[in-house]
Amino acid sequence: MSEILGLRHAAVPVQNLQRALDFYCNSLGFHRYHTNDEDWAMVALGGTSISLVPMQEEIGITPRGGSHPAHLGITVRNPETVNRLYSQLSSLTTIRTSSPKQHRDGSYGFYFTDTEGNQLECIFIPYGVCPPASESKSTGTILLAHGSRNPQWKQPFEHLLDLAKMHASHLQWELAYMELAQPSLSEAVQQLMQQNSLHCICILPVFMATGEHLIKDIPAILEPLQEEYPKTQFKLFPALGESALVQEAFVTAAIEQIDNAKSTVFHLENLH
């Protein structure tokens, strides 16, 4: 099922939460994803996250509605998949399930057992951790792609925008193009400014690498916008394709396509 992304996190029992946080973050390089509560914390590194849960006296559901601290989390693409899997699994008599719920970090899921009694969790985890409402309302974000006259070319970028809004709904998102398609970067900025008076607008180039657009063209577009909106800070980020996470995702996708097409690969010896 393509909606299931895999085992992306594990919850482990700890005796001292602060001591465990110091170890995972200071010694292993994890960053603090959610550490606002005394009875639970989450750290992350790359595509993996670990929930640190202080030991409970009794195995089962904790007083605040969590699960037994030792469980594996199966991550899915969206909340709809959570509900669909819950409907399927809750009808089975060989396993136990809890009802889907919104968690304190903004994730959404439910706990269940496999047929052997092992603790599992089906969960949708937004990538972004929501900042205070006042902060999110003052920041806008623009995904900037190159552009094409072909309407089909735009579809992956429009899907990327939908994913961004789903995973970080607390941010204000717009999609813009350098040329040959609408809206332009200037039009996207104006659209954001019509919604709110923004203190900052972040431009994220959906390019594979830095080139003339990032070095010359985009700064030239931003210069008159800065004059028009002097109280707004414009931040131009590096090309997303230069991110190690994006490069790893590309390689993963390439290998998956090769594996799926092994039976149709055209070998060099076929030329002779």
In order of their start, the domains of the chain are: 4-124 (3.10.180.10), 133-248 (3.40.50.1400)
Look at residues 109, 119, 20 and name the one whose alpha carbon lies nearest to residue 60. Answer: 119
Given a cut of 90, whether residue 230 has pLDDT beyond it is yes
What confidence tier does 126 reach under pLDDT thresholds 50, 70, 90? confident
Give the least confident one: 95-104, 125-134, 184-193, 250-259: 125-134
Sign of CA dihedral 17, 125, 245, 240: negative
Given a cut of 70, whether residue 62 has pLDDT beyond it is no
- Torsion-angle region of 16 (φ positive above 0: left; ψ -120 to 50: alpha; else: beta): beta
pLDDT at 271: 44
Greater model confidence, 242 or 54 = 242
Mean pLDDT of 111-135: 72
Given a cut of 90, whether residue 113 has pLDDT beyond it is no
Given a cut of 90, whether residue 238 has pLDDT beyond it is yes
Mean pLDDT of 24-53: 84
What confidence tier does 264 reach under pLDDT thresholds 50, 70, 90? low
In this prediction the pTM is 0.63
pLDDT at 71: 84
pLDDT one-digit tens code per residue, 77-88: 888 899 999 998
What confidence tier does 42 reach under pLDDT thresholds 50, 70, 90? confident
pLDDT one-digit tens code per residue, 7-16: 778 888 888 8
pLDDT at 106: 77
Which two structure tokens, joined as six digits, stand for 173?
């998102």
Greater model confidence, 176 or 129 = 176
Is the separation of the CB atoms in 184 and 195 below 8 Å? no
Greater model confidence, 142 or 49 = 142
Question: What are the start-end ranges of the H helices in 43-140?
Answer: 79-89, 133-137
